Structure 1
Amino acid sequence: MWRSVASNALTLFIALFLLAGGLLLWGKRQYEGAGPLADAICLRVESGATMAGLSRQLEGQGAVSNAAIFRLGAKYTEKADLLKAGSFLIPPGSSMKEIVDIVTRGGRSTCGTELNFRIGVVSAQLQLREVDPGTGRYVEVLAFDPAAGEIPEDYAELRNATDLRFRVTLAEGVTSWQVVEELKSADFLDGEVADLPAEGSLAPDSYEVQPGMARSDLVAEMQRRQAAILDDLWARRADDLPITTPEEALILASIVEKETGVPDERGRVASVFVNRLRQGMRLQTDPTVIYGVTQGREPLGRGIRQSELRRETPWNTYVIDGLPPTPIANPGRASIEAALNPDDTDFLFFVADGTGGHAFARTLAEHNQNVARWRQIEAGRQ
């Protein structure tokens, strides 16, 4: 009898063991397999949210098939307490494992609504945009220049949305004065910038900020990033450059930045100035003349006058030898890299070619031919 009872107990134990193993295998497949989500969604995770609450939210949105398995999987992988606040793009068919990874890995939000204050060379613009979950691309909701005073009626309501993220973006080639002046119109920032940052010391980049952040703290972060970029690229500069300090590299980079907006031209433009410096030739670049006139406080808005080409300012490279005393704008990383690792050419001249780029020349005679062609293009346009 006891032998029979023991045999039955063993059989039951084995059956339960196999059942538990089968359930674990089934749960693992459910956790790691493709999920039921047919279309991408933007998942908002509030600050203080829990994995339990999120699992129910996901089940309600049709992103997971079983909230309990989602919670158990997050706990088993030791990620249940790593939930991050933000807005996250969940692709169609995402597994529970993939969703847990998305909401716990950290980093910037990947979808939702964003207010981006873009500071450009000519003007600034507040752009309210949101990610289309289907394409993963931003769709502009509204855009306006806050300094112009024409603020859309629905801006105040959109501005106070609970899931709104804030960003400040600097274009390459903006001046420090422009940045400080335009930041005054960013109504989600606070405080003043007491001292004008040195020209060239701000990194053109995109900065995610929090409402109420001090403008001075944001400017300090811009300076920190630019200093880090310059330190990194200076350590990897080419040999035998005619510039001896990181500050001179920043000056040359700012001239390259203002001379071309064509990315693959930067190295050639830099080579022209490097070749001229090596030969003791004046740089003769128009953007330095403009900076001497405007001090970087506004776009010139017209052509350069002959009297301005002859005017003696510290930045007029038609008059002075070598580099001007300061940068003429805030150059981006690519222009700094071009200045420190220019193309290997023997070009000494360049002029616009009518396509948005430039025609480069080795001799004055060749350059004069390029200039004549450019004047013909200008005359045809007029």
Structure 2
Amino acid sequence: MKKLGGLVAAGILVFVAVLGWFAWGWWGTSSVEEEVAFTVPSGASLTSVAGLLEEEGHIASADAFLLRAKVFGGGDPIKAGEFALPAGASPASILDTFQHGEAIAYRVTIPEGTPSVIIHDMLMAEDLLVGEIPVPDEGSVLPDTYQFERGEERIAVLARMQRAMDEVLAELWPQRGPNTVVSSPEEAVILASIVEKETGVPEEREMVAGLYSNRIRQGIWLQADPTIIYPITRGRPLGRRIRQSEIDDINDYNTYQMPGLPAGPITNPGRESIAAVLNPAETDAIFMVADGTGGHDFNSTIDGHNAAVERWFALRRERGEM
């Protein structure tokens, strides 16, 4: 009996030792010497990911990892994406990261007033994204900063940008004031795109929107230079001065040759320009000209406007621009 008891005790000790070794291999060891980024491919199985982890030296054995994961790891699925594995990460923490951690997020910023052709170029140039996209409809993208993950489809990122524009319009349209001249969210985007292109000074947006609202209300042609350029370049820089023949050209965008709004947006306006169009400044101004500081001189009379133009021309001559 004593011999049998000794064998049982020895067996228990061996079992405990093996169990401890098995658990230690899951929670207590690490082959990750320094923080590293690891990508779980879209649609990858845990078996294939374990193989990649072994190939890259982050675990000692794929088979051992899979066996321990089956015993200790739970049944939650792993997620695709790029994950940061910290130095000293155990197999247990690696699996938990893939199951419950947040993938590394990258960012792309679309400045206010970026035309769709440039947004297309920006997304296609981002080599962490995959897949092809068309040039989005002008005015369909909300300029903002967007997060994305390595290997994400470009079309998915673009869809988020367009969904954000839809959400902003749905939020702001009910907040429009009684002095807005636009009759639909689509018209709001068109006019806001002109406001966005006509001023680089955020504080001027409501004033520029008020001026253009007055011109529309009074039947005065908008005569916005950016609407001349858009049908020529579709949003790319003109790179030269506007020609008289282009001012005289009759098309669906040139507001020097037609009343009202152009056929569509000429860029992607930001939230603030849309809000300005929906609640423009109360002003009598119907003229504006650059003032040399990046902003504009606003006037309600032709005499005041002509005087402002003369000041602008004098400043340009002083700078050697004329």
What is the TM-score normalised by the length of structure 1?
A: 0.57
Alignment correspondent of 2:216: 277
- Find the residue that maps to 1:199 and give its secondary structure: coil
Q: Does 1:171 find its partner at 2:117? A: no
Note closer, same or farther for the CA distance 1:46–1:185 as it changes in structure 2 (3 Å cut): closer
For 1:159-208, what per-residue CA distance to the aligned partner results, in whole angstroms no more than 9, with x for missing partners? xxxx9641111011111111112221111000001x33210110100011
1:343 to 281, 287, 291: 281
Alignment correspondent of 1:183: 123
Alpha-carbon distance between aligned partners in 1 of 2:297 and 2:199, rounded to the nearest angstrom: 12
Output aligned runs, 1:292-371, within 5 Å. 292-296=231-235, 298-371=236-309
Does the CA-based 8 Å contact 2:113-2:197 persist in structure 1? yes
- Find the residue that maps to 1:235 and give its secondary structure: helix
Alpha-carbon distance between aligned partners in 1 of 2:258 and 2:170, rounded to the nearest angstrom: 28
Whichever residue aligns with residue 178 of structure 2, its letter is D
Alpha-carbon distance between aligned partners in 2 of 1:303 and 1:238, rounded to the nearest angstrom: 37
- Find the residue that maps to 1:172 and give its secondary structure: coil
Alignment correspondent of 2:138: 199
For 1:253-284, what per-residue CA distance to the aligned partner results, in whole angstroms no more than 9, with x for missing partners? 00000000101100000000000000000000
- Find the residue that maps to 1:168 and give its secondary structure: strand
Alignment correspondent of 1:230: 169
Alpha-carbon distance between aligned partners in 2 of 1:255 and 1:285, rounded to the nearest angstrom: 7
Alignment correspondent of 2:156: 217
What is the TM-score normalised by the length of structure 2?
A: 0.67
Note closer, same or farther for the CA distance 1:45–1:189 as it changes in structure 2 (3 Å cut): closer
**Once superposed, which parts of structure 1, at least 4 consecutive aligned residues long, lie more than 2 Å away?**
44-47
Alignment correspondent of 2:189: 250
Cα offset, 1:86, TM superposition: 7.7
Alignment correspondent of 1:261: 200
Alpha-carbon distance between aligned partners in 1 of 2:179 and 2:194, rounded to the nearest angstrom: 20
Note closer, same or farther for the CA distance 1:216–1:316 as it changes in structure 2 (3 Å cut): same
For 1:303-329, what per-residue CA distance to the aligned partner results, in whole angstroms no more than 9, with x for missing partners? 111111111121100001100010000
Does the CA-based 8 Å contact 2:192-2:269 persist in structure 1? yes
Whichever residue aligns with residue 183 of structure 1, its letter is L
Alignment correspondent of 2:10: none
Whichever residue aligns with residue 346 of structure 1, its letter is D
Whichever residue aligns with residue 126 of structure 2, its letter is A
Aligned pair count reads: 226
Whichever residue aligns with residue 333 of structure 1, its letter is R
Consecutive unaligned residues of structure 2, counting only runs of 5 or more, are 1-34, 39-82, 86-101
Alignment correspondent of 1:380: 318
Cα offset, 1:230, TM superposition: 1.0
Alpha-carbon distance between aligned partners in 2 of 1:292 and 1:184, rounded to the nearest angstrom: 23
Whichever residue aligns with residue 223 of structure 1, its letter is Q
Cα offset, 1:45, TM superposition: 12
**Which protein has the bigger helix share?**
2
Note closer, same or farther for the CA distance 1:246–1:305 as it changes in structure 2 (3 Å cut): same
Alpha-carbon distance between aligned partners in 2 of 1:302 and 1:45, rounded to the nearest angstrom: 48
Cα offset, 1:231, TM superposition: 1.2
- Find the residue that maps to 1:315 and give its secondary structure: coil
Alpha-carbon distance between aligned partners in 2 of 1:341 and 1:180, rounded to the nearest angstrom: 31
For 1:78-134, what per-residue CA distance to the aligned partner results, in whole angstroms no more than 9, with x for missing partners? xxxxxxx889xxxxxxxxxxxxxxxxxxxxx9xxxxxxxxxxxxxxxxxxxxxxxxx
- Find the residue that maps to 1:167 and give its secondary structure: strand
- Find the residue that maps to 1:184 and give its secondary structure: helix
**Which protein has the bigger strand share?**
1
- Find the residue that maps to 1:242 and give its secondary structure: coil
For 1:323-344, what per-residue CA distance to the aligned partner results, in whole angstroms no more than 9, with x for missing partners? 0010000000010000100111
Identity %: 49
Consecutive unaligned residues of structure 1, counting only runs of 5 or more, are 1-43, 48-84, 88-108, 110-162
Note closer, same or farther for the CA distance 1:213–1:380 as it changes in structure 2 (3 Å cut): same
